[in-house]
Amino acid sequence: MTQTDWPARARAVLPGGGFGNFDPSITIREGRGSRVWDEEGRDYVDYLIGSGPMLLGHGHPEVLEAVIEQLPKGQTFFANNAAGIELAEVICAAVPCAEQLRYVSSGGEADMYAIRAARAFTGRDKIVKFEGGYHGMSAEAQMSLAPTNRLNFPQAQPDSAGIPQSVADEMLIAPFNDAEFIRSLLAEHGDKVAGLIVEPLQRIIPPAPGFLQLLREECDRYGIVLIFDEVVTGFRFAYGGAQDLYGVTPDLCTLGKVIGGGFPLAALAGRADIMAHFDKSAVGAERWLMQLGTLSGNPVAAVAGLKTLEILRRDGQYEQLRANGRRVMEMMTRALDAEGIAHRIVGDETLFEPVFTATDPRDYRDVQSADAAASARFNAVLRAEGIFKSGGKTYPSLALTEEDFARTEAAITRAAQALSER
């Protein structure tokens, strides 16, 4: 079997030829530091970094040492383990809203349980989410994630088959960054809303000044559980996450990616009175929120997460991460400006993407109205030039080197030139 047979082999046994996450035409063989290699031996500077978790880079020696020390002691127990308890202590000490937490294995699970916890706590059914916001694969999360039709707000549109209409009936969809719409929506429906879930930075779109504070105030006004989906932003934007950076504390937050150090681990964290619904002895059988997970709090993931967070607490780590991201953002701006290509670099220094538009995007529809063909061409040239990233996000890491930056700048320059040649 030759190296180039991997996509064909995948098509035979995997729907769509892949895992459902990324371009199945490429099969990654290994990652080390800031680089990944495909099965054909090509190497790339990695700005995908596993869709975010490999903030320290691949195979960080201290993380590997912690994992190797744990492996002979056992891979999983379905019972409490000391590393999992210690990691929970570290997270609760770091994240402003986190008084207690519950482990799951994926960010999507955490978001699903956050929505369920809000309903259990309030006794209400309706959930508010923002059009284009990503919160995993639950039925609620698959409402108006990537709608192809522009329905009138707050009508929900399912993005997947197999979701009953009854789910859509309990979802209220709002445009991100629209303060007046949220005020109006909650004035009409607030007493029926259990929770409002939001990415503090929606995909790559920053919150408008005061918008997150407004959400906090409106949720307090109507007794709604405010949920920050920090699966991406947690321990990336700052050690305490986006809620620390932006100075707005939700009632619940969801965490994943970075906290597992590259292993499957996620968590729901928040106020103790809400988290008490996971404890039958505290709330009684009728209000109990049942949650089980074979690998929840897995000790291998926990030790990897502990070491990752220990490294992130060291002096200068976030300053370096932001400097790395700022450097790449400036490369994009210089190259695209030099070719006279209308664009905006949208996001945060730790997570961003060029959007090919002449106006500042404020919500999902603004991003969708940008030049998608230009984005696809730009990213295709980057891939051909040895830059590994998704078509919608650029994730800098702490592992980037001067050689990586030189290669990145050359690739960005070539990609910008390719756009001007269209």
148-154: average pLDDT: 91
pLDDT of residue 422 exceeding 90, the answer is no
pLDDT digits (tens, 9 = 90+) for 216-251: 999 999 999 999 999 999 999 999 999 999 999 999
Residue 229 annotated to the active site: yes
Domain boundaries defined on the chain: 3-60+316-420, 74-312
Tell me the two tokens of residue 116.
């369920």
pLDDT of residue 316 exceeding 80, the answer is yes
State what percent of residues in the chain have pLDDT above 90: 97
- pLDDT category at 1 given cuts 50, 70, 90 is very low
- pLDDT category at 209 given cuts 50, 70, 90 is very high
Amino acid 3: pLDDT = 55
- Measured CA to CA in angstroms, residue 206 lies from 146, 246, 389 at distances of 18, 10, 20
**Is residue 418 within 8 Å of 378, Cβ to Cβ?**
yes
pLDDT of residue 148 exceeding 90, the answer is no
Amino acid 421: pLDDT = 87
pLDDT digits (tens, 9 = 90+) for 56-72: 999 999 999 999 999 99
- Report the chain's mean pLDDT, rounded to a whole number: 96
Which of 44, 129, 244, 257 is labelled catalytic?
257
Tell whether omega for the bond before 61 is within 30 degrees of 0, i.e. cis: no
pTM assigned to the model: 0.96
10-25: average pLDDT: 94
**Angle at which helices 61-70 and 299-312 cross, to 10°:** 150
The third-level CATH classification (topology) of the domain covering 74-312 is Aspartate Aminotransferase; domain 2 (3.40.640)
- How far apart are the C-alpha atoms of 417 and 404, rounded to whole Å? 20
Tell whether omega for the bond before 154 is within 30 degrees of 0, i.e. cis: yes
Tell me the two tokens of residue 123.
């006794």
Residue 257 annotated to the active site: yes
Residues 6+ apart with CB under 8 A from 358: 342
- How far apart are the C-alpha atoms of 84 and 263, rounded to whole Å? 13
- How far apart are the C-alpha atoms of 123 and 225, rounded to whole Å? 11
State what percent of residues in the chain have pLDDT above 70: 99
- Measured CA to CA in angstroms, residue 171 lies from 126, 178, 254, 264, 364 at distances of 6, 18, 19, 29, 17
Residue 178 annotated to the active site: no
72-76: average pLDDT: 96
Tell me the two tokens of residue 161.
């088959």
Identify the CATH class of 3-60+316-420.
alpha beta
- How far apart are the C-alpha atoms of 330 and 214, rounded to whole Å? 32
Exposed, middle or buried: residue 96 (CB in 10 Å: 0-12, 13-18, 19+)?
middle
Q: Show the DSSP H helices in 31-177 as ranges.
A: 61-70, 82-94, 107-122, 165-169
pLDDT digits (tens, 9 = 90+) for 162-182: 999 999 999 999 999 999 999
Amino acid 4: pLDDT = 72
Which of 46, 111, 229, 366 is labelled catalytic?
229
- How far apart are the C-alpha atoms of 156 and 168, rounded to whole Å? 6
pLDDT of residue 415 exceeding 70, the answer is yes
Which of 113, 134, 246, 318 is labelled catalytic?
134
